[in-house]
Structure 1
Amino acid sequence: MGFILIAVLIDMISIGLIIPVLPPLVGTFTHNPSEHTLAQLAVAFAFGIANFFGSPILGGLSDRYGRRRVMLIGFSGLALSFFVTAMADALWMLIVVRLFSGAMQANAAVANAYVADITPPAERAKRFGMLGAAFGMGFILGPVLGGLLGDINLHLPFYVAGSMAVLNWMYGFFVLPESLQPENRRTFDWRRANPFKSLSRVRDLQGVGPLVYVLALSGLAQMILQSSWVMYTTYKFGWGPKDNGLSLFAVGVMAVLVQGVLLKHILKRVSAARLVLLGLASAVLTNTIWGLSSAGWMMYAAIGVGVLSYAAGPALQSQISNAADARNQGETMGAISSLNSLMAVIAPVLGLGLIYLVSELPKGDWRIGAPFYFCAALQALSLFFAWRHFAQLPQQAPGADAAPAAPAGP
């Protein structure tokens, strides 16, 4: 577990480095807020659409050739994309490199499959929480470092991120062990790598049912938040790379605290299913507060309000992972990653589209929070589907993940 946590940590630091500075870099090729928003939408859409089609392919390849080889491909793609982005002198270059990066990058899905390979079902919620904490730690260190470096030069974080991706490739090549045993490997089938078919197979897993809708809706809300955060805080509060880096640092601290420290204690008292419901309800409240915030400090206060929302993801992930067998973890996690990528395709159109509509409003106007109000509505709908699904299953005792149950109706 320690090997994969280190790999994920380095990976997420490198990705987190560019979050506060990519929108400002895109802005250097535009002339007004509306044009800037549309350009950012194009860059985000390029990554999402490529990742949607690439993730199930790489996930299926990891079921055939092992997790380690596919992660090395992802690290290579990341490194190249960061260095090319740093040297880009036109908007079209950013769009092309994000297409390439999206197609090559499925490390999150493969890391989840890696954890499933080495973890018994009863321990997966806790282990996915540890993995989530590594993601969160990356977002603690990455964005704040990216914000500080971006204040010096907008291109500098991309060179640093590329260097870290190269370091991670070296770690993966020389240190990271393979997790998938030969007897659990299966042949690769292009038909199974179709992202739409792989999603339908996850939907049909025993005990999953409407949880696919929960994943889609809550994932869409999360992607809208990620794609809109920097643009939103810039237009509403006038924040720059440093302020955005610090705010994302606070989000990462809370994610690590909840997923890496509190989750195992929460699961002793609350079942994974109940935790999903509480976390989604917390997310509804948090997004509403973010949208209504009239001062920057309120954004930080809302992070504290949404404590349980950071625990919902690992709990939900464990429910779906436990429904898949050892031979299909890569495909299943690739399908989930592909679903998230599909949401990443849709999210910029919705989130940045809403930002585009309010981009000319004066700073502080409550209507600039439109993307967050929409996220709250999506989380409320996902809460409904989760409640409906779990209400039809046997009650799950705290302290253990639920065993696969009979399929529930849609």
Structure 2
Amino acid sequence: MKGSRASVSFILFVVVINMLGVGLAWPILPKLVQAFEGGNISSAAFQYGLLASAYALAQFLFAPLMGNLSDAFGRRPVLLLSQMGLAIDYAILAIAPDYWWLLAARLISGVLGATITTANAYMADISTPQNRARNFGLIGAAFGIGFIAGPALGGLLGEIDIRLPFVAASILSLANTLYGFFLLPESLPPEKRRSVGRLWKSNPVAALGNMGRFPVLMPLFIALLLTAISARGLESIWVLYTDFRFGWSLRDSALSLAFVGVMFILVQGVLVGPAVRLLGERRVVLYGYCVAIFALFLFGIADRGWMLFPLTAVYIIGAALAEPALKAICSKAVPDDHQGLLQGVLASIGSVAIIVGPISASLLLAHVAGPAPLVNLPGIWFLVGALLFAVALLSAARRVVPAPAPD
């Protein structure tokens, strides 16, 4: 099964449908929170940051368990469970009468939302060392396909009824569950599975400790954490920031998110493979981080809305090239029967980023959007993001730059 085109197509289709549902909801949820807050952007930014952080905390606590379960029982059942969790989440969001219902829905999704974690482990199962970075890039491209149609369609449906995108996302997630049940093959054969072990070993701290036997990973984990904090913060405030800073409508924000999807397809679906072959995974990481730092700095000082489109393109070229290359380096450092646990740890790192990034970015946006900001710099989070990428560059360089040969 390793290297099978059909297997790659199966998992990419699962990710596309999953991200189409996420893309539908992405531009709508901040606006729904804003509606609950009476239209106040400063208050909505803070409340939405809390919402995103609660989701991430639940995912942080449960993602290693889901990864461990996928190593023990296979990827397929965990994928199906997570898809059903998403369908329930979106159904609750579609009828939520107040903010606390939104919080309950996000917690459910955080507990069961292991789709991408398990999809990455699935892709590692069916990849060879030679095509692993390219295949991880294809998952990024599948993200992009979902984000091209998802946000644009979500913006259009949201202008009809702000709850309608959640109904559509729930139906898509349910359809994805049925698709996986009938058509998705298992990628981890029984002979490569390991004992699930005691339950306490599936907590994120123990899972991270279990990765401690691979010393190359820790500086790379730090780099992934810092860059993810920057990215998750940017994503969480995008809709409210562009409204506050440039007066963008819901449709404007949704179309800009669709543009993000186009860029992800171009970069991770087309450019990752050739870039890695030409430069090697290590140089792709380092050069990509440098490009992202440059773009984020310019984001922070941009004063015209049109500037965000070319800057988004430059940022994604850097960040979206570096991420799959760095994950491929991590994946090559662990054996086959630890791929699920590794992906669970990576998901927990991502969840920490979603805890820290959105609340930090939202607090800064709430401050600068308030009546008397101490620092009148609307793009302050982008400058913070550039600093985080710079520190990540230094951390990653400790491991991805080969040591000089002895004299």
Query: TM-score when scaled to structure 1?
Result: 0.93
Runs of 4+ in 1 over 4 A off after TM superposition: 392-395
- For 2:44 and 2:32, locate their aligned partners in 1 and report how far apart those are by CA, in whole Å: 10
C-alpha separation in 1, matches of 2:212 and 2:93 = 37
Q: Counterparts of 1:249-264 in structure 2 under 5 Å?
A: 249-264=258-273
Q: 1:308, CA displacement in angstroms? A: 2.8
Deviation at 1:345, TM superposition (A): 0.8
Query: In structure 1, what is the equivalent of residue 21 of structure 2?
Result: 14
- Pick from 121, 135, 155 the counterpart of residue 127 of structure 1: 135
Aligned ranges 1:340-359 → 2 under 5 Å: 340-359=350-369
**Which of 153, 169, 172 is the equivalent residue of 2:177?**
169
Identity among equivalent positions (%) equals: 39
Larger helix share, 1 or 2: 2
Q: CA deviation at 1:392?
A: 4.3
Structure 1 contact 202–212 (Cα < 8 Å) conserved: no
Residue type at the aligned position of 1:249: A
The residue aligned with 1:285 is 294
- Summarize the alignment of residues 364-379 of structure 1 with structure 2, pairs less than 5 Å apart: 367-379=377-389
- Between the aligned partners of 2:325 and 2:249, the Cα distance in structure 1 is 34
Which amino acid counterpart does residue 391 of structure 1 have in structure 2? V
Q: Which shifted more, 179-188 or 283-292?
A: 283-292
Q: Does 1:295 align with 2:304?
A: yes
Structure 1 residue 61: Cα displacement: 0.6
Amino acid at match of 2:272: L
1:96 corresponding residue in structure 2 = 104
**Partner of residue 392, structure 2:** 382
* Deviation, structure 1 residue 203: 4.4
Shift of 1:42: 2.0
Q: Secondary structure in 2 aligned to 1:180?
A: coil
1:214 matched residue in structure 2: 223
Offset at residue 305 of structure 1 (A) = 2.2
Query: SS where residue 200 of structure 2 aligns?
Result: coil
CA deviation digits over 1:12-63, x for unaligned, max 9? 1101111111000011111323321222122111111111111111111111
Unpaired segments of 5 or more residues in structure 1?
Answer: 396-410
Residue of structure 2 in register with 1:408 after alignment: none
Query: Paired residue for 1:48?
Result: 56
1:228 Cα offset (Å): 1.5
Give CA deviations for 1:221-253 in whole Å, capped at 9, x if unaligned.
111111121121111011122111111111111
Compute the displacement of 1:109 (Å).
Answer: 0.7
Could you say what secondary structure the match of 2:186 adopts?
coil
Q: What is the aligned partner in structure 1 of residue 331 from structure 2?
A: 321
Contact 1:71/1:107, CA 8 A, preserved across alignment: yes
Deviations 1:196-235 (A, max 9, x none): 1212333441532411111111111111111121121111
Q: Could you say what secondary structure the match of 2:36 adopts?
A: coil
Q: Which moved more, 1:203-212 or 1:106-115?
A: 203-212
Aligned-pair CA distance for 1:137: 1.3
Deviations for 1:346-371, whole angstroms, at most 9, x for unmatched residues? 11221101111111369xx9711111
Answer yes or no: is 1:114 the counterpart of 2:160: no
Query: In the alignment, is the contact (CA less than 8 A) between 2:368 and 2:376 conserved in 1?
Result: no
| 1:133–1:257 Cα contact (<8 Å) kept | yes
- For the residues of structure 2 that align with 1:220 and 1:194, how far apart are their CA atoms? 21
Partners of 1:140 and 1:131 in 2: CA distance: 14
Q: Secondary structure at the match of 1:191?
A: helix
- Partner Cα distance (1:361, 1:128) in 2: 44
Q: Distance in 1 between matches of 2:291 and 2:52?
A: 27
- Kindly indicate whether residue 160 of structure 2 is the aligned counterpart of residue 144 of structure 1: no
Q: What TM-score does the superposition give when structure 2 sets the normalisation length? A: 0.93
Q: Secondary structure at the match of 1:192?
A: helix
What is the match of residue 91 of structure 2? 83
Question: RMSD in angstroms over aligned alpha carbons?
Answer: 1.6
Secondary structure of 2:336's counterpart equals coil
Rounded to whole Å, the distance in 2 between the matches of 1:105 and 1:326 is 23
Partner SS for 1:122: coil
Q: Which amino acid aligns with 1:263?
A: V
- Give the alignment partner of residue 80 of structure 2, picking from 60, 72, 77: 72
Cα separation, 2, equivalents of 1:24 and 1:281? 33
Distance 1:136-1:204 versus aligned 2 partners, 3 A rule: farther
- Looking at structure 1, the residues matched to 269 and 212 of structure 2 have their Cα atoms a distance apart, in angstroms, of 29
Q: Cα deviations across residues 153-206 of structure 1 (Å, max 9, x unaligned)? A: 110100000000011001000001000110111111312211012123334415
- Does the C-alpha gap of structure 1 residues 33 and 386 become closer, same or farther in structure 2, counting only changes over 3 Å? same
Contact 2:46/2:359 (8 A) holds in 1: no
Structure 2 segments unaligned to the other structure (5+ residues): 1-7
Report how many aligned residue pairs link the two structures. 393
Indicate how the Cα distance of structure 1 residues 311 and 203 shifts in structure 2: closer, same or farther if over 3 A, else same. farther
Cα distance between partner residues in 2 of 1:204 and 1:339 = 17
